[in-house]
Amino acid sequence: EAQVTQNPRYLITVTGKKLTVTCSQNMNHEYMSWYRQDPGLGLRQIYYSMNVEVTDKGDVPEGYKVSRKEKRNFPLILESPSPNQTSLYFCASSFAQGLGTEAFFGQGTRLTVV
Amino acid sequence: QQQVKQSPQSLIVQKGGISIINCAYENTAFDYFPWYQQFPGKGPALLIAIRPDVSEKKEGRFTISFNKSAKQFSLHIMDSQPGDSATYFCAGTFSGSARQLTFGSGTQLTVLP
């Protein structure tokens, strides 16, 4: 089954404790992205990757890191989480950009930073 | 900078009614406008999409109307059903955009039985 898998689904952590949210896709997609979803703000892009070892900042990259060492994986790293990073996070993947390119989303990771 | 503005934030419709969600965009380079549907506890999924060279696209009960001169587009859900209750996001993107989708703020639709 074609899918984007995120782990964990739920995470509660304390301020300053480094964490990693994993994302894996089995569709051989070139593009992968991370979004955060907050009430009234919709989905805002954090980082994106066009292929292995190629990443760039989205709209809200502060406080986050990513890496793309393999095509299928795109982990999101919070080196020193803060309460304002409490949010619902989604990973997405798609084929190379172009008209009609559908983005496939994971089921989300709800992060709470206390 | 929010390049896609969506309204209303929430919408309550009776079963069988018409649900209308509106979006306006700023970036005239956008050439693809998808709508994503998100059920509670799930990630967004592509519902329907339109390109600016057409004024309307219909798929079943879902229709996108597009007004290029006004830089506006809308989603119409005919004969709304309780199963349509979800959050809907409009988005814009353009060919060659490595950043892909720019989303609106979302509309939470509730269809009452």
What parts of chain A have a pLDDT lower than 50?
A: none
A31 to chain B, any CB pair closer than 8 A? The answer is yes
Contact status, residue B35 vs residue B49, Cβ threshold 8 Å:
yes
Is the CB of B105 less than 8 angstroms away from the CB of A42?
A: yes
A28 to chain B, any CB pair closer than 8 A? The answer is no
Q: How far does the CA of residue B2 sit from the closest CA of chain A (Å)?
A: 9
Q: What is the predicted pLDDT for the residue at B97?
A: 63
What parts of chain B have a pLDDT lower than 70?
A: 1-2, 95-99
B55 CB-near residues (< 8 Å, 6+ apart): B65, B66, B67, B68
A61 to chain B, any CB pair closer than 8 A? The answer is no
Q: Is the backbone peptide bond immediately before B8 cis, with ω within 30 degrees of 0?
A: yes
B29 to chain A, any CB pair closer than 8 A? The answer is no
Rounded to whole angstroms, the Cα distance separating A89 from A109 reads: 5
Q: What is the predicted pLDDT for the residue at B99?
A: 58
